[in-house]
Amino acid sequence: MPYLLLIMERLEARRARSLEEGQRAYARMLRFTEDLRERGVLTASDSLRTDAVRIEVRDGKRTLRDGPFTEAKEIVAGFFYLDCKTREEAVAIANICPAAEWSTVEVREIGPCWEQ
């Protein structure tokens, strides 16, 4: 079953990190990624930059807002797209993700959004 791990990081924490701290954290995440690849559960992963655009259509009016968004308290810093046998396996992987030490790792099963 496909699962998405979303790395939800507080923007102020990312900004407060020194270059060396960021490089060490990134190296740990690369090792974690390689471990998932070797285990055969990784479909895709990547970091996400903070420059984004938000699109909304309300009452036929389209609004585009460029980021980064100063009102945001946290950002989606990256993702892991996994193929796990069970939810428990996906949660166990999220539990050992290094990013859980400095951010929140959210586990989402991928599937139709209208089914609950």
pLDDT by residue (tens digit) across 26-62?
999 999 999 999 999 999 999 988 788 888 999 999 9
Encoded tokens for 1: 């079953």
When divided into structural domains, the chain yields a total of: 1
pLDDT in tens, 7-29: 999 888 888 999 999 999 999 99
pLDDT higher than 80, residue 64: yes
Domain membership of residue 116 (yes or no) is: no
Assessment of whether the complete model's pTM goes beyond 0.95: no
Residue 114 included in any domain: no
Contacts of 52 (CB under 8 A, 6+ apart): 66, 67, 68, 69
- Would you say residue 72 lies in a domain? yes
Q: What is the pLDDT of residue 73?
A: 76
Residue 85 lies in a domain: yes
Q: Strand, helix or coil at 72?
A: coil
Expressed as residue numbers, the domain containing 81 is 2-109
User: What gap in Å lies between CA 89 and CA 70, rounded to an integer?
Assistant: 35
Structure tokens at 89: 């396996």
Q: 101: domain CATH number?
A: 3.30.70.1060
For residue 115, being part of any structural domain is answered with no
Task: Give which of 26, 15, 23 is closest to 98, Cα–Cα.
Answer: 26
